[in-house]
Structure 1
């Protein structure tokens, strides 16, 4: 008996540490916009379904306003950003902050809504007030599309607010128009269905400018130094987000309750329908290197309106191992 015990002890000593107990998940801290926002769309699903733990990670999502997000990510206070828009990544690089776009989560879509009968086109907003989250790339991309339609955005009187405030401005009719995107747009229409949406001709203008209909827009970015040091963690992070997007697509009703836990049943139903259609949501999880051509076209659009003063470095488009 003692001999058997001794043999078992010897075998146990020879086994690698990981064989005797599960390896502890790797902690990650990711800054994101607060809801309603695309950056806050998948995190509650990742946590509720434990997709981070499944992939060997323990992710802590930290919510910030757009301006605070940009400041704290660019400063390096956060090494990972989950509300990373392409143009802000490109601008950070040009300003000397070495960051890289790891993978895409959502393609671009934005809208302008109004309750005013005298506002029929974007040009009608010249000289009027427009509520917007001016610190976001969605506003910058909207600026580009507005100019393609001949509107002089310099003549808009922009009321800058954080993303959660946009719905309130629209409901209270506190501005001539409000520029916003999903999921705030769907939430707004579920509360005030008679809001008028002004056509900004996204598909036509982009096709004319680029020959493509794909517009990579928002994803997950990291500081280059962090990415180089943590290459083995990045595929795990991608897998967590990819699996979350697949779960959301397969379970839109359940997902809507996680994404909008404090919403009314009508609000949640609207989000579920948004997920099913995916035309405005544009959920499209792909490695940055797989949409590199389209990313460079987004950079070109940013340069054309002088948001980007130069071309961002090639290193802003992360190339996953084996890609």
Structure 2
């Protein structure tokens, strides 16, 4: 009897183990993102801590890079997926021969110009003065368009270019009449210096008039076009992981803020406030195809300010994805 049962039991064990192994096997992904503090670094710690990647069959490794290294390694194809993909940058990359597609949006655009000077009450008051900014960023490019829409010519200011992490320092040291920046740096700055004021850029009304929509697609997840076409199920799983993370963040602002800030109490409180309001954070996870018209309007901005030499094609807008 033992000789008959032994092979059967062994075979059953092999089948059981094979089944368990199949269930546990996850698709490994490497995604390049900006290091914190940045919008691209906002959701990765949530995805990993709450295991939203594993819940959708993925094992994601987030590789943090500086903006320059990010661009070089994504555009060269070293990383097939970029999680700090500014929409204008994706469009510009195509005009330079990079075949990438914007999979889905994570954050809508928001930016600000701040000052501590009494003689600066509006953008016009910056004429002839210094404006510190990370001029190579797409946030600054969108600001250029907003300034133009208000009738202010940025050639009237002396733009002082600095790296993104240095923007808060410029304000704290009062080294420029104005500083252009965005979240999460803005919230952190406002908590540190109660003399800081934000100038009115009239973002919502200006964009609504231009695009006929409140959505301003700004930063999301992009991928090599050929990879996206060959891995549609993985792309859908990736979207679901990010979407679940975003919903969890909105439902648990305090816990989310603690994870995003790495447990830094003062920063965590600021982030929790930012998440609750969401007007400046702009967390808005949507498939690219569902905001296609708005993406094209962002591309029109790129043309208008001569950031693009030509209009990016529809190939930069991922047409896949669907209902969850």
**Fold equivalence (TM over 0.5):** yes
Name the residue aligned to 2:23. 22
**Do residues 31 (structure 1) and 51 (structure 2) align?**
no
| Counterpart position of 1:159 | 160
Could you tell me which runs of 5 or more consecutive residues in structure 1 were left unpaired when the two chains were aligned.
none
Counterparts in 2 of 1:256 and 1:213: CA distance versus 1, 3 Å: same
- The runs of at least 4 consecutive aligned structure 1 residues that moved more than 6 Å come to none
- TM (norm. structure 1) is 0.93
Displacement of 1:151: 1.2
Matched, 1:272 2:284: no
User: What runs of 5+ residues in structure 2 fail to find an aligned partner?
Assistant: none
Q: Would you say 1:124 and 2:144 are equivalent positions?
A: no
Q: 2:33 and 2:162 mapped to 1: Cα distance?
A: 17
The residue aligned with 1:226 is 227
1:205 Cα offset (Å): 0.9
Q: Which moved more, 1:308-317 or 1:17-26?
A: 17-26
Cα distance per residue 1:124-167 (max 9 Å; x no partner): 22332222122221111111101111111133322222222211
Cα deviation for residue 14 of structure 1 reads 6.1
The aligned counterpart of 1:198 is: 199
CA contact (8 A) 1:87 1:137 kept: yes
CA RMSD after TM alignment: 1.9
The TM-score with structure 2 as length reference comes to: 0.93
Q: Please show how residues 56-75 of structure 1 align to structure 2 within 5 Å.
A: 56-75=57-76
- Partners of 1:153 and 1:68 in 2: CA distance: 28
Confirm whether residue 188 of structure 1 aligns to residue 189 of structure 2: yes
Partner deviation per Cα, 1:87-130 (whole Å, 9 max, x = no partner):
11011111111100000000111101011111111122233222
What corresponds to 2:102 in structure 1? Answer: 101
Partner of 1:236: 237
Conservation of the 8 A alpha-carbon contact between 1:36 and 1:163: no
Q: Does 1:306 align with 2:306?
A: yes
Q: In structure 1, how many angstroms separate the alpha carbons of the residues matched to 2:139 and 2:94? A: 19
What displacement does 1:269 show? 1.5
Rounded Cα–Cα distance in structure 2 between residues aligned with 1:43 and 1:228? 24
Name 2:137's counterpart in structure 1: 136
* Closer/same/farther in 2, CA of residues 189 and 321 from structure 1, 3 Å limit: closer
Structure 2 CA distance for aligned equivalents of residues 86 and 108 of structure 1: 10
CA contact (8 A) 1:66 1:162 kept: no
